[in-house]
Amino acid sequence: MATNLSEGQKAPAFSGKDQNGNKVSLADFKGKKIALYFYPEDDTPLCTAQACQFRDHHPDFTKIKAVVLGISPDSVASHSAFVGKHALPFTLLADVRGRDGAPTTCTAFGAWAEKNMYGNKVVGMLRTTYVIDPKGRVARRWDRVKTPGHAAAVLGAVRSLHAGDNLVVGGKVAAKRVAPSRQKTRTQGGHPGYSGVLATKGKKTASRTVAAKAKVGRTRVRGKGA
């Protein structure tokens, strides 16, 4: 299975049991925006801080109809205790280890791989986060996540996706298309932005002084013949 998922690719299908022992699959969230984060272990300092950030921002994710999912190799019982202790309002999935000892979903998303720990190369969890769009494609990816402020950054990306200005096209993030305005700005003497008088350059227009004099002359003639 793929371990090098990039933005624009289809997210691998996955399923697992949540903190209540219920089976949950990616297909259950078809048509929704998903913040999917992989973390090493329940109830450890950094993982707790990360989970509590997502907890605190959860109402904001809910407002834009986005789903938050957390995945780690911990058991259903461990997830249940973690959720209860910190009042986490979102789903945590237990990733089952395969015959090789590697958690299946974490491996598929590149969150289980070789890393350097205290100068030694080991295979384990890499803190990784994805935003998956309503069509099941990877819209954003964060590797080797730094916990402080991370949930807010993910929320910002989901909001952009919700607004339509962070769409992935052909593996590239494309800006939202905005139709150009047809409204013309009034100018004076070629200076854009002035909204008082229309430009008269190139047009034959009598000055106000000449027009005023002509009017006064007509008035005097009429008065004389009366």
Residues catalogued as catalytic:
47
Residue 103 DSSP one-character state: B
Question: What's the CA gap between 78 and 92, in Å, rounded?
Answer: 10
Write 192-199 long-range contacts (CB < 8 A, 24+): none
Buried/exposed 183-215: b ≥16 CB within 10 Å, e otherwise: eeeebeeeeeeeeeeeeeeeeeeeeeeeeeeee
Question: What's the CA gap between 132 and 137, in Å, rounded?
Answer: 5
- Whether the CB-CB separation of 88 and 82 falls below 8 Å is answered with yes
What are the backbone dihedrals phi and psi of residue 171, each rounded to the nearest 5 degrees, phi first? 85, 0
